[in-house]
Amino acid sequence: MANYFGTDGIRGEVGVHPITADFFLKLGWAVGSVLSEQGKASVVIGKDTRVSGYLFESALEAGFLSAGVDVGLLGPMPTPAVAYLTQTYNATAGVVISASHNHFKDNGVKFFSAKGLKLSNEDQAKIEQKLLEPMVSVSSNKIGKARRYEQPLGRYIEFCKSTFDRSVDLSGLTMVIDCANGATYHIAESVFSELGAKVSVINNSPNGFNINENCGATDTRHLQQVVLDTKADLGIAFDGDGDRLMMVDEHGELVDGDELVFIVAKAWQQQNRLTNNAVVGTKMTNLGMRKALRDLDIEFIEADVGDRFVMELMKKHGAILGGEGSGHMICLDKTTSGDGIISALQVLEVLAKGQSSLVQLKKGMTKYPQVLINVKTKEKIDLDNHQQLNAATKAVQAELGDEGRVLIRASGTEPLIRVMVEAKDAQITQQSASRLADTLR
């Protein structure tokens, strides 16, 4: 059986199977058929700003309708907004058409349950099984109905603002927001300016092709320069679908996901808000953050890479805070998924309450130099039985000792092997990572 679901839904290049109109038509039917097993079902569909969203929105809509499922169209909307609106509109499931931080030529789809959570492995297996069956439409008197919701933006903006402690405000704070020409382009400015901040926005003019192009959370150079040029207090960067967050301090320095999670964790611990005194990260979480949390007696729990796995361990261990260095931050006492806007508000709340700055807040941890090299592969590589690589990895780890670490893993969304090395010395880190990548090549 084909395994279409990766670590974050289904994703790939537009026009290359399975990212085609005919597959999305059948996918909508398959998901709709599984949902309908429990009775009459409805879904909401949101998308980011890439041009192919029009194509796949229509294909999915037709597939759901043919399975007898009612469809509510949300238009361009951040992924976490769809998770929230799925619950608000009492839908059976939520659908996001997005390839997140990827280039416009890629697209994909993610699904949320009625509770705004990622679909379980069991649900995904049912969908994959249904895809093997011939597509048969329900009878004409059972075909679903479609509608376009009129006020989803306002609902989501108010929800985001409700997660911020209104005993403080953002007045006096000057910030630059980079929307990555993505799904936050018509939302972010309203949220932060209505909470009192003086806001200027960049990369908020999507044209279907410029999403994530030299901007946003995956490329903060433009934002860093604008923060310096305008002498802003800080910068905020989202990715194309609005579930990632990176920030920039007043000196134009990047503050990444690990540092942001640490800032919030330390503050919440001081406020006795950090449930079970635990934070969930991933195998990629920086060694500097792990040590800083340990110094605060905060338990660090390691998950596989991917916000779905972070979420699973958060629920298992009763933690309310988790995240990844790439900018996914999950605040489970606020919302059900990683949300760039809500994550930014939690950091800004810490900043406002402490009358502090990002420069001061991030001093609590010292990041270890980290080098990540992506090695493209034409076919699947069995990392466990790659003798040369395993020998080289053991040698490098022995040289680094307790002051460094090595992680080699296959990407869940692209044909890549990711080689990651961390160590105190930047030169040794680069040399070690290059040596391992060359062995793999």
Catalytic residue annotation: 100
What phi and psi, each to the nearest 5 degrees, are found at residue 93? -155, 160
Contacts with 384 (C-beta within 8 Å, 6 or more apart), sequence order: 390
User: DSSP for 98-143?
Assistant: --TTS-TTEEEEEEEETTS-BPPHHHHHHHHHHHTSPP-PPPGGG-
Neighbours of 378 (CB within 10 A): 6
Strands 234-238 and 146-148: unpaired
- Look at residues 216, 271, 243 and name the one whose alpha carbon lies nearest to residue 331: 243
Rounded distance between C-alpha atoms, residue 93 and residue 118, angstroms: 10
Rounded distance between C-alpha atoms, residue 94 and residue 83, angstroms: 6
Report CA-CA distances (Å) from 388 to 166, 394, 424, 428: 57, 10, 25, 20
Instruction: Label residue 121 exposed, middle or buried (CB < 10 Å: 0-12, 13-18, 19+).
Output: exposed
Q: What is the DSSP-derived secondary structure letter of residue 383?
A: G
Taking a C-beta distance cutoff of 8 angstroms, is the pair 77, 183 a contact?
yes
SS3 369: coil
Backbone angle region of 3, left / alpha / beta, with phi > 0 → left and psi within -120 to 50 → alpha: beta
What phi and psi, each to the nearest 5 degrees, are found at residue 98? -165, 150
Contacts with 228 (C-beta within 8 Å, 6 or more apart), sequence order: 251, 252
Is the alpha carbon torsion for 151, 152, 158, 159 positive or negative? Answer: positive
Identify any residues that bridge with 76 across adjacent strands, giving them in sequence order: 47
- Look at residues 247, 204, 202, 218 and name the one whose alpha carbon lies nearest to residue 106: 218
CA angle 214, 218, 220 (to 5 degrees): 65
Taking a C-beta distance cutoff of 8 angstroms, is the pair 278, 317 a contact?
yes
